[in-house]
């Protein structure tokens, strides 16, 4: 007698995000959809969610049109579509107003998304329960996710209790989101059996990454314990930092006696071929070859596959910064592998000290960034904890939810010195409703609200990216970046780099059409900052600084003016949101006053005056690239 039925979900979106920085354009997704249907083995396909729709904006595509067109052929074939949402953070890295979160589910349901998978990066039930309530009110299936990680405070009992709370709160299904693939197989089986004992009727889905090497054993174990759905990928983007291949999973489970669907291999090869053609078109320029390999070093730091897609590119910039300093100071330079090991070791050191937040968006980025800042400080002969971004402080102080563990006394002392206070209220209470403000902006600009208010939603969820999309500036910036990547031979094509053509004769292909590199938007030249990553475009949408082209402002600075310099490389901003007032020449500063921010690794690092005085020169324009020790402001 066969065991219970196990069905497959193709995580086509996450396949790309776990391998590199970008995802296919909508014309490519529509092209591959019929072949995915033809494979005949998928009950579900992940079609959209966090990070995905910001990419459309960066391409210059309308994300709402993309979701509708991509989900339609799948749903017409009876395949359920599902999305990933970050609960309090919606589809971005920063907290989202409650009214925008409610609108999100109404829009996504209308666009053809059947299931939402809300997770909280801290497993704070309050954030997930809100999402369950909003999603069900909109008519969606609420598949609440447990962010799986492995530590002394993350016990099987704690996960079983969380699942029980979420089901009691209305969750239709539960997903074990093993985002780094570090859940131990036997331990995962214990969690599944515990949930099934309490709620045998509730469907369970398992999501894992193959990187550390546990995934196949974990899938077999959780299916034996009762899991009904398994997330899978397929060549040429399976394995590595991504997910297991459906062929291997199907064969393993079939042999173990489970009722699994058959796979149309002719269609499999069609999807494989089309996916490879998308890589060859442009997506391969944003995939680091190291992400195509599994790496058991990931067991220690527990960094998720979705973040590893962009980590290697970030690491190159960090390595350059460190080696510039080492060269200047006659120190031996580091290799990328040496830096990677130092980073992994520092993540293992930092993670328990900051309360064991599950390493999933955005907290995986925060812990990694904190570790990377520490490594950079140590390599330059400075102490740890020299740079802690405001977003990281919010995590530490509980503004995103309750940390699973306790903060180390050293961190508590740092918080005291920084005058940071613990937050214990509901995280949503920090963020005020915002739709009226965005409605007014839509009206002032003469923008259409869109079908089911979907354009209003897009502006409210991704304000900066949506504005750049509407102006055309985002598309221009992407085209220029792609042309540069092609000229240099980046990513998977690094080994076959060709001689770089002239910039003005190198068209980029977007939506199948050639584009000039000399584009003015509405008669203006834009200087645009576009953040690529797990967020790709996952720099906090509300916290993103406005794009601007203003020139540095100065008066004749006295010869003895005090210089405030950049402590790290990145993009310089005067503000990070519209509630802040930028400094200007003539302002009087006290020691410790805010000067501006340097955005690095998708977080905004506050720069403060280290001396009182009057501003006599602002040396950098908004969105300028700055290097360490560049002068930002002069104080007289």
42-65 pLDDT, tens per residue? 999 999 998 788 888 888 899 999
* Separation of alpha carbons 288 and 308, rounded Å: 10
Mean pLDDT for 553-571 is 73
Tokens 């005067």 correspond to: 574
Q: Which of 144-148, 222-226, 527-531 has the lowest mean pLDDT?
A: 527-531
Nearest Cα to Cα of residue 360 among 128, 102, 23, 67: 128
The larger pLDDT score, comparing residue 573 to residue 511, is at 573
Res 550: pLDDT: 43
The H or E element that residue 37 is part of is helix 26-39
Mean pLDDT for 579-606 is 84
Q: Are 343 and 378 a contacting pair, CB within 8 Å?
A: no
The larger pLDDT score, comparing residue 564 to residue 629, is at 564
Q: Are 11 and 232 a contacting pair, CB within 8 Å?
A: yes
Q: Rounded to the nearest 5°, which phi and psi values hold at 521?
A: -105, 115
pLDDT band at residue 559 using 50, 70 and 90 as cut-offs = low
Mean pLDDT for 162-175 is 98
Mean pLDDT for 620-627 is 83
Mean pLDDT for 489-518 is 49
* Separation of alpha carbons 252 and 209, rounded Å: 17
Asked if the model's pLDDT at residue 526 lies above 70, the reply is no
pLDDT band at residue 307 using 50, 70 and 90 as cut-offs = low
Q: What is the pLDDT of residues 411-468, one digit of tens each?
A: 999 999 989 999 999 999 989 999 999 999 999 999 999 999 999 999 999 998 899 8
Res 570: pLDDT: 81
Beta-ladder partners of 613 = 589
Res 530: pLDDT: 38
Helices vs strands, H then E, count in the chain: 20, 18
pLDDT band at residue 557 using 50, 70 and 90 as cut-offs = low
Count Cα neighbours of 623 within 13 Å in the Cβ-side half-sphere. 14
Q: What's the Cα-to-Cα distance from 587 to each of 549, 554, 566, 583, rounded to whole Å?
A: 21, 12, 20, 7
Domains present along the chain, CATH in parentheses = 7-289 (3.20.20.70), 307-429 (no CATH), 562-635 (2.40.50.100)
Q: Rounded to the nearest 5°, which phi and psi values hold at 427?
A: -55, -35
The larger pLDDT score, comparing residue 399 to residue 509, is at 399
Provide the 3-class DSSP secondary structure of residue 311: helix
Mean pLDDT for 517-521 is 36
Q: Are 140 and 174 a contacting pair, CB within 8 Å?
A: no
Mean pLDDT for 36-42 is 98
Looking at the chain, how many residues does it have? 636
* Separation of alpha carbons 518 and 143, rounded Å: 46
Residue 169: count of CB within 10 angstroms of its CB:
16
Res 561: pLDDT: 84
* Separation of alpha carbons 411 and 416, rounded Å: 9
Res 483: pLDDT: 93
Q: Which of 43-47, 386-390, 613-617 has the lowest mean pLDDT?
A: 386-390
Q: What is the pLDDT of residues 95-130, one digit of tens each?
A: 999 999 999 999 999 999 999 999 998 999 999 999
Asked if the model's pLDDT at residue 503 lies above 70, the reply is no
Share above pLDDT 90 across residues of the chain, in percent, rounded to a whole number: 58
DSSP, res 368:
H
Q: Which of 360-364, 481-485, 502-506 has the lowest mean pLDDT?
A: 502-506
* Separation of alpha carbons 533 and 362, rounded Å: 12
Q: Which of 148-162, 165-179, 304-318, 582-596 has the lowest mean pLDDT?
A: 304-318
Mean pLDDT for 578-607 is 83
First vs last C-alpha separation in the chain: 84
Q: Are 434 and 100 a contacting pair, CB within 8 Å?
A: yes
Give the burial string for 455-471 (b: 16+ CB within 10 Å, else e): bbbbbbbbbbbbbbbbb
Mean pLDDT for 70-74 is 97
Cα–Cα–Cα angle for 160, 233, 87, rounded to 5 degrees: 45
Asked if the model's pLDDT at residue 506 lies above 80, the reply is no
pLDDT band at residue 310 using 50, 70 and 90 as cut-offs = low
Q: What is the pLDDT of residues 220-235, one digit of tens each?
A: 999 999 999 999 999 9
* Separation of alpha carbons 382 and 621, rounded Å: 28
* Separation of alpha carbons 121 and 127, rounded Å: 10
Nearest Cα to Cα of residue 228 among 204, 251, 207: 204
Q: What is the pLDDT of residues 246-280, one digit of tens each?
A: 999 999 999 999 999 999 999 999 999 999 999 99
Beta-ladder partners of 287 = 20
Q: What is the pLDDT of residues 315-342, one digit of tens each?
A: 777 888 888 888 888 999 999 889 888 9
Tokens 């060549």 correspond to: 235
Asked if the model's pLDDT at residue 538 lies above 60, the reply is no
Asked if the model's pLDDT at residue 380 lies above 70, the reply is yes
Q: Round the CA-based radius of gyration of the chain to a whole number and report it.
A: 24
Nearest Cα to Cα of residue 174 among 134, 218, 207: 207
Residue 442 corresponds to which tokens in the numbers above? 């839509």
């Amino acid at each position: 007698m066969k065991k219970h039925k196990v069905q497959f979900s193709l995580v086509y979106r996450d396949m790309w995000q776990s391998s590199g920085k970008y995802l296919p354009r909508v014309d490519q997704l529509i092209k591959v959809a019929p072949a995915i249907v033809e494979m005949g083995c998928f009950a579900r396909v992940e079609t959209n969610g966090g990070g995905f729709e910001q990419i459309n904006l960066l391409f210059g595509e309308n994300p709402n049109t993309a979701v509708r067109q991509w989900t339609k052929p799948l749903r017409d074939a009876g395949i359920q579509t599902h999305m990933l949402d970050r609960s309090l953070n919606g589809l971005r890295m920063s907290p989202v107003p409650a009214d925008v979160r409610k609108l999100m589910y109404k829009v996504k349901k209308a666009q053809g998304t059947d299931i939402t998978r809300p997770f909280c990066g801290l497993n704070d039930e309050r954030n997930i329960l809100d999402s369950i309530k909003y999603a069900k009110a909109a008519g969606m299936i609420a598949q609440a996710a447990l962010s799986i990680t492995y530590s002394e405070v993350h016990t099987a009992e704690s996960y079983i209790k969380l699942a029980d709370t979420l089901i009691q709160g209305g969750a239709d299904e539960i997903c074990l989101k093993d985002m780094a693939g570090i859940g131990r197989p036997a331990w995962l089986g214990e969690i599944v059996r515990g949930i099934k004992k309490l709620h045998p009727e509730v469907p369970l889905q398992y999501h894992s990454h193959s990187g550390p090497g546990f995934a196949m054993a974990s899938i077999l174990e959780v299916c034996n314990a009762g899991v009904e759905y398994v997330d899978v990928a397929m060549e040429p983007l399976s394995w590595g930092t991504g997910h297991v291949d459906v062929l291997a999973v199907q064969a393993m489970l079939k042999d173990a006696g489970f009722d699994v669907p058959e796979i149309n291999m002719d269609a499999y090869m069609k999807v494989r071929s089309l996916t490879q053609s998308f890589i060859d078109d442009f997506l391969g320029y944003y995939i680091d070859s190291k992400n195509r390999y599994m790496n058991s070093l990931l067991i220690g730091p527990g960094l998720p596959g979705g973040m590893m897609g962009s980590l290697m590119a970030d690491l190159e910039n960090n390595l350059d910064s460190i080696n510039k300093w080492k060269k200047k100071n006659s120190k031996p330079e580091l290799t990328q592998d040496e830096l990677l090991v130092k980073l992994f070791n520092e993540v293992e050191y930092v993670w328990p000290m900051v309360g064991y937040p599950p390493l999933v968006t955005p907290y995986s980025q925060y812990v990694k960034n904190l570790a990377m800042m520490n490594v950079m400080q140590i390599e330059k002969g400075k102490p740890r904890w020299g740079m802690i971004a405001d977003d990281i402080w919010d995590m530490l102080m509980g503004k995103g939810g309750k940390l699973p563990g306790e903060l180390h006394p050293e961190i508590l002392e740092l918080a005291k010195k920084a005058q940071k206070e613990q937050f214990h209220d509901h995280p949503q209470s920090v963020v005020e409703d915002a739709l009226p403000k965005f409605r007014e902006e839509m009206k002032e600009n003469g923008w259409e609200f869109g079908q089911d208010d979907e354009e209003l939603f897009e502006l409210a969820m991704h304000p900066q990216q949506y504005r750049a999309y509407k102006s055309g500036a985002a598309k221009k910036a992407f085209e220029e970046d792609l042309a540069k990547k092609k000229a240099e031979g980046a990513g998977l094509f690094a080994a076959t780099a060709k001689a770089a053509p002239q910039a003005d004769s190198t068209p980029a292909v977007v939506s199948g059409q050639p584009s000039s590199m000399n584009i003015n938007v509405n008669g203006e030249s834009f200087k645009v900052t576009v953040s690529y990553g797990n967020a790709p475009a996952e720099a906090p949408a509300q916290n993103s600084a406005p794009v601007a082209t203003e020139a540095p402002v100065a008066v004749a600075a006295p010869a003895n003016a005090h210089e405030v310099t950049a402590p790290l490389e990145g993009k310089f901003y005067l503000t990070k949101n519209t509630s802040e007032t930028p400094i200007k020449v003539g302002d009087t500063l006290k020691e410790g006053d805010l000067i501006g921010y340097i955005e690095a690794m998708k977080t905004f690092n506050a720069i403060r005056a280290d001396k009182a005085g009057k501003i006599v020169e602002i040396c950098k324009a908004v969105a300028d690239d700055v290097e360490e020790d560049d002068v930002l402001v002069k104080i007289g």
